[in-house]
Structure 1
């Protein structure tokens, strides 16, 4: 088993998302000692990071927590815990497991160190499960047809749900949407525009357009598109966050409009974050090439680059983009690379469909990730491990305090 897979198992255990089969496998690994080197390497990585970025008091607090955890493991009689009886393991390994229980949270999830600030390492008690908020359980998307009719995808039967011009709109068995065009429409045929809307609190939805382009929409996003493309280009518009894998067609460029910015391609993979409540529009290229146009300015992107466009239309090219962070939403994760609390909470607001209220100022910045397929309290538990922020759930409102 790779170190990354081992780390993932530990993360699942610590976030209570581990399956019975995975828990049994983790127990076997810890009993065998085969992954002791990986465990020690994870501990060394984190202790190095702590010594570089944390002050003496924080390091002392960490040591005390590991010590407490080690004593708890020695006395642990809970068969669900991934440890073995004290008389069957070495003291060094007890301390290794204890350190992992404290440290893996930091390096694999949400206990972050912010330069210039201090974080008291305390993990709050788990919130009352009756007040918890579950992740989205369904794709709550709606297609609005050219005649204004709405199709609620969650309740629509599989198969053909509508016909638009010479295209059939099909819902597949796995809940995705496919537009099947019967031949290429004449260039002079009037376009029939449809809109796919994915509200807050919905799972990610994917749609395959009539030209074969596949599009994924994050929560609180929309896509307006022709049922069948005609003419010399393929033009769509979006709100929110959308990822495109554009079908190649050298005779017709693909154009995406968002917040007054045009992204023009022939066939490529790219992500656009154009939420209205974000300070900039961000276009990130994964494959191919795109041209960005904004208020008379033009920029070309190459793979790995991100265009950051301000409300004034200025374009800045970031050549050091974290692709894992950009694409985390599509892979079912929250991932932050130094985000402030308001940026973090905007993602949580859209995904869990909650209101956010702030009481006091929080200066901490957060680095790390966690699955989006967990209750909101588990996300908060990781954030609270910094000691810089706390949360209260009041129905569908989240109150954020220092």
Structure 2
């Protein structure tokens, strides 16, 4: 079988229109491709093989005759294939089978993914809109020049002393994200629906910022001036480290995840020191809990342009969708399923929902800015 015939039959296999003979032919060809080194496959063959593996695994999951004890093995394998092949499957154009017209109707009001955009509120209350375009100096604030670079990063460059701190606030809307370089060289990635308040020049014996929402920080080392993040009354103290803080109002806890270095998390007299791989959670009852061996890739996937779900309940998945697509999510009926996999964030929301629907456990509809979730 040549590769063009294989890709054609692969599409028929996945959409259920292949005959039994064609399915056997595709299975046999897949088994032969699976024995070849990955570098010997064409990009089309590799991508089709990955998605066929996913389709075959999901078919096995849904076969009532499949032993129950194999279910989680299949689900885990499907997650690996989903992570590897989802980008190709979601991005490539394809004809819409007649049986999918109802799906096209449900997703006719599609929503675009978020982009790099934010607003900067200056000390005098004036607001500057920020986007992908580059600027030279856009403001001067309390001993610092404020620039937006060609890479779309907001930068503060100190040029002199200031008598008292002057504060600015960087805010991202739902459907927006932005990067910031603080006056000490520390780097901040600000997720959608978040804000960071900070001085334009760090003075005194500490460097302090206030966060709402989610941010990933790479803090410049300065043993003489510890760095402190205030998030909803919780403090995170660092000397120089890489960490992520998720402090959205609609999340069940404030999560601080440490990738490198060391931080101390504190609230109301409690204090816990985190090591790399640890994640603290400030619970609604005020207690701080610490978990070790957390999946760092899943925590920071958002800053690398990905969604990453690791046994994530549908409610957690859809909170991320709400923030990134600026959507309102409504549930009709009880949906309790969990999801595993990695998907790119630069896709229309319909593509993400389509992949979640492939599990056969949930259905979606888009009405204007509203996403309806059904069992």
- TM-score above 0.5, yes or no: yes
Match of 2:301, SS? Answer: coil
- 8 Å contact from structure 1 (residues 43, 103) kept in 2: no
User: Against the structure 1 CA distance between its residues 375 and 267, is the aligned structure 2 distance closer, same or farther, given a 3 Å change threshold?
Assistant: same
1:355-370 maps to which residues of 2 (within 5 A)? 355-370=328-343
Q: CA deviation at 1:36?
A: 3.5
Which residue in the other structure is 2:137 paired with? Answer: 160
1:211-360 maps to which residues of 2 (within 5 A)? 211-360=184-333
User: Against the structure 1 CA distance between its residues 366 and 146, is the aligned structure 2 distance closer, same or farther, given a 3 Å change threshold?
Assistant: same
Which residue in the other structure is 1:383 paired with? Answer: 356
Superposed CA deviations along residues 166-208 of structure 1, whole A, max 9, x for unmatched, are 100001112210000014x36xx21101000001011x21100
User: Against the structure 1 CA distance between its residues 249 and 205, is the aligned structure 2 distance closer, same or farther, given a 3 Å change threshold?
Assistant: same
Q: CA RMSD in A?
A: 3.5
Alpha-carbon separation, structure 2, partners of 1:393 and 1:225: 38
Which residue in the other structure is 1:148 paired with? Answer: 125
User: Against the structure 1 CA distance between its residues 58 and 353, is the aligned structure 2 distance closer, same or farther, given a 3 Å change threshold?
Assistant: farther
Give unpaired runs (5+ residues) of structure 1.
Answer: 1-9, 15-29, 61-99, 111-121
TM-score norm. by structure 1 comes to 0.71
> Which residue of the other structure, out of 153, 156, 174, is the alignment partner of 1:200?
174
Which residue in the other structure is 2:158 paired with? Answer: 181
Alpha-carbon separation, structure 2, partners of 1:306 and 1:102: 23
- Match status 1:134 vs 2:118: no
User: Against the structure 1 CA distance between its residues 363 and 130, is the aligned structure 2 distance closer, same or farther, given a 3 Å change threshold?
Assistant: closer
Alpha-carbon separation, structure 1, partners of 2:224 and 2:366: 53
User: Against the structure 1 CA distance between its residues 225 and 42, is the aligned structure 2 distance closer, same or farther, given a 3 Å change threshold?
Assistant: same
User: Against the structure 1 CA distance between its residues 55 and 106, is the aligned structure 2 distance closer, same or farther, given a 3 Å change threshold?
Assistant: farther
Which residue in the other structure is 1:57 paired with? Answer: 64
Runs of at least 4 residues of structure 1 off by over 2 A? 32-51, 53-56, 100-110, 122-130, 154-157
Name which of structure 1's ranges 308-317 and 376-385 shifts more when overlaid on structure 2: 308-317
- Match status 1:172 vs 2:149: yes
- 8 Å contact from structure 1 (residues 284, 305) kept in 2: yes
- Paired residues in the alignment total 318
Alpha-carbon separation, structure 1, partners of 2:182 and 2:280: 25
Match of 1:230, SS? Answer: coil
- 8 Å contact from structure 1 (residues 123, 381) kept in 2: no
Alpha-carbon separation, structure 2, partners of 1:140 and 1:210: 21
Alpha-carbon separation, structure 1, partners of 2:139 and 2:346: 31
TM-score norm. by structure 2 comes to 0.76
Higher RCO structure (Cα 8 Å, ≥6 apart) = 1
Alpha-carbon separation, structure 2, partners of 1:58 and 1:309: 44
Superposed CA deviations along residues 227-284 of structure 1, whole A, max 9, x for unmatched, are 1110000000101110000011110000000021100001110000001100000000
Q: CA deviation at 1:124?
A: 9.2
- 8 Å contact from structure 1 (residues 271, 283) kept in 2: yes
Q: CA deviation at 1:323?
A: 0.8
Alpha-carbon separation, structure 2, partners of 1:339 and 1:101: 15
Give unpaired runs (5+ residues) of structure 2.
Answer: 1-9, 15-29, 39-45, 68-76, 88-98
Alpha-carbon separation, structure 2, partners of 1:106 and 1:168: 42
Match of 1:169, SS? Answer: strand
Alpha-carbon separation, structure 2, partners of 1:57 and 1:34: 26
- 8 Å contact from structure 1 (residues 142, 151) kept in 2: yes
